[in-house]
Amino acid sequence: MIKKLKETLLKKFHEADSDMGLDPRSEEVYAVTALYDTPNEILLAADKVAKSDYKKFDVNTPYPVHGLDDAMRLKPTKVGYFSFLFGFIGTCSALLMIGWMSGIDYRSIVGGKPFFSIPPSIPITFELTVLLSGLTTVGVMLFLFNKLPWNNNPLMDTNYMKRVSSDKFGVVIKSDDPKFNKEEVIEFLKSTGGNTIEVVNKFIRREGNTKAPIFETKFIGGLVAIAVVVAGGTYVTLNYVTFLPPFDFMWAQEKVTPQQPSEFFSDGYSVRTPPEGTVMRGYIPYEYKGLPDSMVKYLSNPIALTQENLADGKKQYDTYCSPCHGYFGEGDSRLRGQFPNPPTIHSEKVRNWVDGNIYHVITNGQNVMPSYASQVSREDRWKIIHYIRALQRAKNATDDDIGVTDTTQTNEATGNVTDTTNTGDTTQQQ
């Protein structure tokens, strides 16, 4: 059964392909055609046809041939006028639309800028200009000048059209030309070097006298039925189906939106004032805020002293502290007098401070130094303190810090004094 169906379909296909499903032709002549072998031949033939005052003729080539429009004496196309007109309409429409929206109907203050300005309006203006100009160009060229669609062109299914769309060049002189005479045209085309002269007749059925299928009752009724089904299905889906489980998971959420009244609280307010003393999750309030550093007594560094934390502290110090305090904390500002130089962090007062005092100054600020709580996180402030301690220890290093021990021993037998200085590498005796 499948094999038989396949054979039937192939037969129908070959039958349709053999005659392209075209209507029978009448005895009325539509045009006379001629084929040429080379681009030079078609250029010369087109020039001779134009010089012979034929007006209703055309040239067909398998690819564009440079200079053919001059040989045919073609006038400049008027498509550009339509493109310019509708492009200009698009430009004016965009500027008027933006000017009305931004400057009159819905004014918005954005950084003190004017309500309507040309520069920010250029993108939309350009887009609307190109849109209207492009659509007009295509539409006018196809439907007004080329009069498409023309599904029943008499040149279809002719040997002429098959050859000029493949490897030949051709000239068509139409029968509605004032000078047209079939015998004279045939002889004239032969004189231009044309070969395979063909007389093309019109189809019996003319598109101009045929009722278009789109206006038939069945077709219009089908369109109306499809529109009703699609519109009804869309309405039911958007207004009922999407509000049913499980399709309501996006809009039926346990939350309130701005300006939405509450059905849970008696006063109807959905946004509640936080209870007194409430803090944000993950936020640790600073209890010594606004107090002098002498009040800080019980703060200790919670960050472990590791090589990684020390490197992070150096990075943060170089970024936020070194512009004023210097890279080594000596108060040698790099701001060249634009801001008062701070005291050195190697003073006895600062070295005797506990870590909490330094943290307090970084968090709360002191004298002309502002608070850095908004720029440096809590953990990074403690890491900076680790690095400050490292700078202080390097600047004020003791013998123990650099691995030097000094002891004096007396040799009871000889009465000599032995001075042993251990640097970790050598031992010297005197």
CATH code of the domain containing 321: 1.10.760.10
Kindly report which listed range (53-67, 94-108, 148-162, 176-190) carries the lowest average pLDDT score: 148-162
pLDDT category of residue 395 using cuts at 50, 70 and 90 = confident
**CA 125 from centroid of its chain's CA atoms:** 19
> Is residue 242, in this structure, part of any structural domain at all?
no
- Mean pLDDT within 14-34: 75
pLDDT value of position 61 = 95
pLDDT value of position 364 = 85
> Is residue 355, in this structure, part of any structural domain at all?
yes
> Is residue 314, in this structure, part of any structural domain at all?
yes
pLDDT greater than 80 at residue 10: no
Strand order of the β-sheet with 57-60 is: 57-60, 169-174, 25-36, 195-203
| Number of domains, the chain | 1
pLDDT tens-digit readout, 231-281 = 999 999 999 998 888 888 877 777 788 788 888 888 888 888 888 878 888
Note if the pTM is more than 0.75: no
pLDDT value of position 216 = 77
pLDDT value of position 274 = 84
Which residues does 79 contact at the CB level (< 8 Å), separation at least 6? 137, 140, 141, 145
> Is residue 212, in this structure, part of any structural domain at all?
no
| DSSP β-ladder status, 25-36 and 169-174 | antiparallel
pLDDT value of position 207 = 57
Do residues 288 and 357 make contact, with C-beta atoms less than 8 angstroms apart? no
> Is residue 31, in this structure, part of any structural domain at all?
no
pLDDT greater than 70 at residue 425: no
Of the two residues 253 and 142, the one the predictor is more confident about is 142
pLDDT greater than 80 at residue 172: yes
CB atoms within 10 A of CB 267: 8
Question: Domain containing 345: what range?
Answer: 293-395
Instruction: Classify the C-alpha dihedral 291-293-296-300 as positive or negative.
Output: positive
pLDDT value of position 273 = 85
pLDDT tens-digit readout, 355-393 = 888 898 898 888 888 888 889 988 999 999 999 999 988
Name, of 16-20, 126-130, 318-322, the range with top average pLDDT.
Answer: 126-130
> Is residue 164, in this structure, part of any structural domain at all?
no
pLDDT category of residue 212 using cuts at 50, 70 and 90 = low
> Is residue 368, in this structure, part of any structural domain at all?
yes
pLDDT tens-digit readout, 179-190 = 999 999 999 999
> Is residue 334, in this structure, part of any structural domain at all?
yes
Instruction: Classify the C-alpha dihedral 138-139-143-149 as positive or negative.
Output: positive
Tokens describing residue 288: 């010594």
Show the beta-strand stretches assigned E in 146-194.
169-174
